[in-house]
Protein backbone atom coordinates (compact mmCIF):
# COMPACT_ATOMS: atom_id res chain seq x y z
CA UNK A 1 0.00 0.00 0.00
CA UNK A 2 1.37 3.45 -0.94
CA UNK A 3 1.95 6.12 1.72
CA UNK A 4 -0.89 8.26 0.35
CA UNK A 5 -3.36 5.35 0.40
CA UNK A 6 -2.24 4.35 3.90
CA UNK A 7 -2.69 7.92 5.11
CA UNK A 8 -6.18 8.08 3.61
CA UNK A 9 -7.08 4.75 5.23
CA UNK A 10 -5.77 5.91 8.62
CA UNK A 11 -7.81 9.12 8.44
CA UNK A 12 -10.91 7.12 7.53
CA UNK A 13 -10.31 4.70 10.43
CA UNK A 14 -9.92 7.61 12.83
CA UNK A 15 -13.22 9.15 11.69
CA UNK A 16 -14.99 5.78 12.06
CA UNK A 17 -13.48 5.40 15.53
CA UNK A 18 -14.69 8.81 16.66
CA UNK A 19 -18.19 8.13 15.33
CA UNK A 20 -18.45 4.67 16.92
CA UNK A 21 -17.38 6.08 20.29
CA UNK A 22 -20.73 7.87 20.37
CA UNK A 23 -23.31 5.90 22.39
CA UNK A 24 -26.07 6.83 19.93
CA UNK A 25 -24.06 5.72 16.90
CA UNK A 26 -22.96 2.51 18.61
CA UNK A 27 -26.58 1.76 19.50
CA UNK A 28 -27.74 2.24 15.90
CA UNK A 29 -24.89 0.16 14.50
CA UNK A 30 -25.51 -2.59 17.07
CA UNK A 31 -29.18 -2.84 16.14
CA UNK A 32 -28.14 -3.17 12.52
CA UNK A 33 -25.48 -5.81 13.38
CA UNK A 34 -27.94 -7.92 15.42
CA UNK A 35 -30.48 -7.82 12.57
CA UNK A 36 -27.78 -8.85 10.10
CA UNK A 37 -26.70 -11.71 12.36
CA UNK A 38 -30.27 -13.00 12.70
CA UNK A 39 -30.89 -12.84 8.95
CA UNK A 40 -27.59 -14.53 8.10
CA UNK A 41 -28.27 -17.37 10.56
CA UNK A 42 -31.77 -17.91 9.18
CA UNK A 43 -30.48 -17.94 5.59
CA UNK A 44 -27.45 -20.09 6.40
CA UNK A 45 -29.24 -22.92 8.23
CA UNK A 46 -31.01 -24.45 5.19
CA UNK A 47 -27.89 -23.90 3.08
CA UNK A 48 -25.75 -25.90 5.51
CA UNK A 49 -28.46 -28.60 5.69
CA UNK A 50 -28.58 -28.94 1.91
CA UNK A 51 -24.79 -29.10 1.61
CA UNK A 52 -24.63 -31.75 4.33
CA UNK A 53 -27.34 -33.80 2.61
CA UNK A 54 -25.70 -33.62 -0.81
CA UNK A 55 -22.15 -34.31 0.40
CA UNK A 56 -22.92 -36.95 3.05
CA UNK A 57 -22.22 -39.96 0.76
CA UNK A 58 -18.61 -38.87 0.08
CA UNK A 59 -17.88 -36.54 3.02
CA UNK A 60 -18.56 -38.41 6.28
CA UNK A 61 -16.54 -35.84 8.22
CA UNK A 62 -18.87 -33.03 7.04
CA UNK A 63 -15.91 -30.95 5.92
CA UNK A 64 -17.89 -29.00 3.32
CA UNK A 65 -20.91 -28.38 5.53
CA UNK A 66 -18.67 -27.24 8.37
CA UNK A 67 -16.67 -24.94 6.12
CA UNK A 68 -19.85 -23.26 4.89
CA UNK A 69 -21.15 -22.94 8.45
CA UNK A 70 -18.02 -21.04 9.59
CA UNK A 71 -18.31 -18.56 6.72
CA UNK A 72 -21.48 -17.03 8.11
CA UNK A 73 -19.18 -15.31 10.61
CA UNK A 74 -17.26 -13.71 7.73
CA UNK A 75 -20.44 -12.31 6.19
CA UNK A 76 -21.60 -10.93 9.53
CA UNK A 77 -18.27 -9.28 10.30
CA UNK A 78 -18.08 -7.64 6.87
CA UNK A 79 -21.52 -6.11 7.46
CA UNK A 80 -20.81 -5.05 11.05
CA UNK A 81 -19.17 -1.60 10.94
CA UNK A 82 -17.98 -1.92 14.55
CA UNK A 83 -15.75 -4.93 13.92
CA UNK A 84 -12.64 -5.31 11.83
CA UNK A 85 -11.04 -8.76 11.78
CA UNK A 86 -7.87 -9.93 10.08
CA UNK A 87 -5.74 -13.05 9.72
CA UNK A 88 -1.94 -12.98 9.76
CA UNK A 89 0.85 -15.53 9.78
CA UNK A 90 1.31 -18.49 7.47
CA UNK A 91 -1.88 -20.45 6.84
CA UNK A 92 -1.31 -24.18 6.15
CA UNK A 93 -1.11 -25.01 2.44
CA UNK A 94 -3.13 -28.24 2.64
CA UNK A 95 -6.56 -27.76 4.27
CA UNK A 96 -6.96 -31.54 4.67
CA UNK A 97 -3.72 -32.03 6.56
CA UNK A 98 -5.02 -32.38 10.11
CA UNK A 99 -3.72 -30.37 13.04
CA UNK A 100 -4.67 -30.04 16.64
CA UNK A 101 -5.35 -26.30 16.61
CA UNK A 102 -5.10 -24.41 19.90
CA UNK A 103 -5.57 -20.74 20.77
CA UNK A 104 -5.81 -18.39 23.71
CA UNK A 105 -9.37 -17.53 24.71
CA UNK A 106 -10.28 -13.87 25.28
CA UNK A 107 -13.94 -13.78 24.36
CA UNK A 108 -16.81 -15.67 22.75
CA UNK A 109 -15.93 -13.63 19.66
CA UNK A 110 -12.68 -15.65 19.37
CA UNK A 111 -14.82 -18.30 17.67
CA UNK A 112 -16.09 -15.81 15.09
CA UNK A 113 -12.59 -14.49 14.43
CA UNK A 114 -10.87 -17.88 14.12
CA UNK A 115 -13.62 -19.01 11.74
CA UNK A 116 -12.13 -16.57 9.21
CA UNK A 117 -9.27 -19.01 8.64
CA UNK A 118 -9.59 -20.60 5.18
CA UNK A 119 -9.82 -24.22 6.29
CA UNK A 120 -12.32 -26.26 8.27
CA UNK A 121 -11.83 -27.33 11.89
CA UNK A 122 -14.17 -29.25 14.14
CA UNK A 123 -14.71 -27.33 17.35
CA UNK A 124 -14.87 -28.81 20.81
CA UNK A 125 -17.71 -26.78 22.36
CA UNK A 126 -19.69 -26.91 25.55
CA UNK A 127 -23.01 -28.70 25.24
CA UNK A 128 -25.08 -25.53 25.84
CA UNK A 129 -24.31 -24.28 22.33
CA UNK A 130 -25.78 -27.42 20.76
CA UNK A 131 -29.14 -26.64 22.39
CA UNK A 132 -29.56 -23.29 20.63
CA UNK A 133 -32.04 -23.27 17.73
CA UNK A 134 -30.45 -22.92 14.30
CA UNK A 135 -26.87 -22.45 15.56
CA UNK A 136 -27.00 -25.71 17.49
CA UNK A 137 -28.54 -27.46 14.49
CA UNK A 138 -25.72 -26.25 12.25
CA UNK A 139 -23.13 -27.37 14.79
CA UNK A 140 -24.63 -30.85 14.67
CA UNK A 141 -24.67 -30.81 10.87
CA UNK A 142 -21.02 -29.70 10.90
CA UNK A 143 -20.19 -32.56 13.32
CA UNK A 144 -18.67 -30.34 15.96
CA UNK A 145 -17.75 -32.03 19.23
CA UNK A 146 -19.95 -31.72 22.29
CA UNK A 147 -18.42 -31.38 25.75
CA UNK A 148 -20.40 -31.45 28.99
CA UNK A 149 -18.33 -29.48 31.49
CA UNK A 150 -17.65 -31.27 34.75
CA UNK A 151 -18.63 -34.65 33.30
CA UNK A 152 -15.60 -36.92 33.09
CA UNK A 153 -17.30 -39.42 30.76
CA UNK A 154 -18.24 -36.60 28.41
CA UNK A 155 -14.64 -35.40 28.45
CA UNK A 156 -13.33 -38.85 27.53
CA UNK A 157 -15.90 -39.19 24.75
CA UNK A 158 -15.05 -35.72 23.38
CA UNK A 159 -11.36 -36.62 23.19
CA UNK A 160 -12.25 -39.84 21.38
CA UNK A 161 -14.35 -37.88 18.88
CA UNK A 162 -11.45 -35.48 18.34
CA UNK A 163 -9.23 -38.41 17.46
CA UNK A 164 -11.89 -39.73 15.06
CA UNK A 165 -12.12 -36.37 13.25
CA UNK A 166 -8.33 -36.26 12.93
CA UNK A 167 -8.37 -39.75 11.45
CA UNK A 168 -10.77 -38.35 8.82
CA UNK A 169 -8.17 -35.71 7.86
CA UNK A 170 -9.98 -32.81 9.51
CA UNK A 171 -8.35 -30.53 12.07
CA UNK A 172 -9.84 -30.04 15.51
CA UNK A 173 -9.94 -26.76 17.42
CA UNK A 174 -9.54 -26.66 21.22
CA UNK A 175 -9.13 -23.81 23.70
CA UNK A 176 -6.60 -25.35 26.11
CA UNK A 177 -7.38 -22.81 28.84
CA UNK A 178 -10.79 -24.47 29.03
CA UNK A 179 -12.69 -21.20 29.47
CA UNK A 180 -12.40 -17.52 28.65
CA UNK A 181 -9.82 -15.45 30.50
CA UNK A 182 -11.56 -12.99 32.84
CA UNK A 183 -8.44 -10.85 33.25
CA UNK A 184 -7.32 -10.84 29.63
CA UNK A 185 -4.07 -12.54 30.61
CA UNK A 186 -3.12 -15.95 29.29
CA UNK A 187 -4.28 -18.71 31.62
CA UNK A 188 -2.78 -22.11 32.31
CA UNK A 189 -3.21 -24.78 29.63
CA UNK A 190 -4.77 -28.17 30.23
CA UNK A 191 -3.24 -31.35 28.85
CA UNK A 192 -6.06 -32.77 26.70
CA UNK A 193 -5.23 -31.19 23.32
CA UNK A 194 -1.55 -32.07 23.64
CA UNK A 195 -2.25 -35.64 24.67
CA UNK A 196 -4.43 -36.07 21.57
CA UNK A 197 -1.74 -34.60 19.30
CA UNK A 198 0.93 -36.95 20.64
CA UNK A 199 -1.34 -40.00 20.44
CA UNK A 200 -2.25 -39.16 16.83
CA UNK A 201 1.31 -38.19 15.88
CA UNK A 202 0.03 -34.89 14.48
CA UNK A 203 1.39 -31.37 14.91
CA UNK A 204 -0.01 -28.65 17.12
CA UNK A 205 -1.01 -25.50 15.23
CA UNK A 206 -0.93 -22.58 17.68
CA UNK A 207 -3.01 -19.44 17.12
CA UNK A 208 -2.63 -16.12 18.93
CA UNK A 209 -5.76 -13.99 19.29
CA UNK A 210 -5.92 -10.33 20.25
CA UNK A 211 -8.61 -7.64 20.26
CA UNK A 212 -11.76 -9.71 20.70
CA UNK A 213 -12.38 -8.65 24.32
CA UNK A 214 -13.57 -5.27 23.02
CA UNK A 215 -16.12 -6.80 20.64
CA UNK A 216 -18.64 -7.70 23.35
CA UNK A 217 -19.09 -5.49 26.39
CA UNK A 218 -20.15 -7.13 29.64
CA UNK A 219 -23.71 -6.28 30.74
CA UNK A 220 -24.33 -4.36 27.49
CA UNK A 221 -26.38 -5.73 24.57
CA UNK A 222 -24.57 -3.40 22.18
CA UNK A 223 -21.47 -4.49 20.32
CA UNK A 224 -18.16 -2.83 21.09
CA UNK A 225 -15.70 -1.50 18.58
CA UNK A 226 -13.09 -4.16 17.87
CA UNK A 227 -9.96 -4.40 15.76
CA UNK A 228 -9.13 -8.09 16.22
CA UNK A 229 -6.46 -10.32 14.77
CA UNK A 230 -5.70 -14.03 14.73
CA UNK A 231 -2.11 -14.95 13.96
CA UNK A 232 -1.19 -18.42 12.72
CA UNK A 233 2.09 -19.53 14.30
CA UNK A 234 4.54 -22.19 13.18
CA UNK A 235 3.32 -25.76 13.70
CA UNK A 236 4.91 -27.69 16.55
CA UNK A 237 5.70 -31.29 15.54
CA UNK A 238 5.00 -34.26 17.79
CA UNK A 239 6.94 -37.01 16.00
CA UNK A 240 8.82 -39.18 18.45
CA UNK A 241 6.97 -37.82 21.49
CA UNK A 242 5.12 -39.96 24.02
CA UNK A 243 2.88 -39.34 27.01
CA UNK A 244 5.86 -38.32 29.12
CA UNK A 245 6.29 -35.30 26.80
CA UNK A 246 2.76 -33.91 27.19
CA UNK A 247 3.69 -31.29 29.79
CA UNK A 248 6.69 -30.07 27.80
CA UNK A 249 4.64 -29.81 24.59
CA UNK A 250 1.92 -27.95 26.47
CA UNK A 251 4.39 -25.48 27.97
CA UNK A 252 6.22 -24.88 24.68
CA UNK A 253 2.95 -24.17 22.95
CA UNK A 254 1.82 -21.78 25.67
CA UNK A 255 5.16 -19.96 25.53
CA UNK A 256 4.86 -19.56 21.74
CA UNK A 257 1.36 -18.10 22.02
CA UNK A 258 2.39 -15.82 24.90
CA UNK A 259 5.35 -14.49 22.90
CA UNK A 260 3.13 -13.89 19.85
CA UNK A 261 0.57 -11.98 21.94
CA UNK A 262 3.32 -9.76 23.35
CA UNK A 263 4.62 -9.13 19.83
CA UNK A 264 1.14 -8.26 18.53
CA UNK A 265 0.57 -5.85 21.42
CA UNK A 266 3.91 -4.16 20.70
CA UNK A 267 3.01 -3.82 17.02
CA UNK A 268 -0.29 -2.18 17.96
CA UNK A 269 1.41 0.23 20.34
CA UNK A 270 3.94 1.19 17.66
CA UNK A 271 1.19 1.69 15.06
CA UNK A 272 -0.86 3.81 17.45
CA UNK A 273 2.18 5.94 18.18
CA UNK A 274 2.70 6.80 14.51
CA UNK A 275 -0.86 8.05 13.96
d(CA 44, CA 213): 26
- 162, burial (CB in 10 Å: exposed 0-12, middle 13-18, buried 19+): buried
Confirm if 249 and 236 have CB atoms less than 8 A apart: yes
pLDDT for 269 equals: 83
Percent above pLDDT 90 for the chain: 77
The rounded distance, in Å, linking the Cα atoms of 228 and 182 is 17
Find the helix packing angle between 246-273 and 192-200, rounded to 10°: 120
Which domains are seen in the chain, by residue range?
3-273 (3.40.1130)
What's the order of all strands across the beta sheet hosting 145-147?
A: 83-89, 226-232, 204-210, 100-103, 171-174, 121-126, 145-147
Q: How many CB atoms lie within 10 A of CB 120?
A: 23
Residue 269 burial (C-beta neighbours within 10 Å; 0-12, 13-18, 19+): exposed
pLDDT confidence of residue 153: 86
Q: Nearest Cα to 86, choosing from 59, 47, 116?
A: 116
Structural contact between residues 68 and 200, judged by C-beta atoms closer than 8 angstroms: no
| DSSP string covering 154-196 | HHHHHHHHHHHHHHTT-EEEE-TTSS--SSSS--PPPSHHHHH
pLDDT digits (tens, 9 = 90+) for 247-259: 999 999 999 999 9
Q: Which carries the bigger pLDDT value, residue 16 or residue 265?
A: 265
Which three-class secondary structure state does DSSP give residue 146?
Answer: strand
- Give the model's pLDDT for residue 12: 44
pLDDT tens-digit map of 43-65:
999 999 999 999 999 999 999 99
pLDDT for 21: 67
**pLDDT per residue over 178-189, tens digit each?**
877 776 789 999
Hey, how many other C-beta atoms are within 10 angstroms of the C-beta on 21? 10
pTM listed for this prediction: 0.88
Burial of residue 135 (CB within 10 Å: 0-12, 13-18, 19+) is middle
24-48 average pLDDT score: 96
Mean of pLDDT over the chain: 90
The count of other CB atoms within 10 Å of the CB of residue 111 is 18
pLDDT in tens, 97-109: 999 999 999 999 9
Does residue 69 have a pLDDT over 50?
yes
pLDDT band at 261 (very low <50, low <70, confident <90, very high): very high
Say how far apart CA 144 and CA 124 lie, in whole Å. 6
Measured in degrees and rounded to the nearest 5, phi and psi for residue 135 equal -60, -50
| pLDDT tens track for 133-143 | 999 999 999 99
Amino acid sequence: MSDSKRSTTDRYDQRVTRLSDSVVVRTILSVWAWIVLAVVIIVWTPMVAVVRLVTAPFDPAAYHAGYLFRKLTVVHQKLNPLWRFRVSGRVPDDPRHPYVVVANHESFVDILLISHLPFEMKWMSKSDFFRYPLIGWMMRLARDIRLERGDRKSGVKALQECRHRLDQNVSVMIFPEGTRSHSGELGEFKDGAFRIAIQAGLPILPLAVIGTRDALIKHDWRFGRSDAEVRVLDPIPTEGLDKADVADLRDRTRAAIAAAIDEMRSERSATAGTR
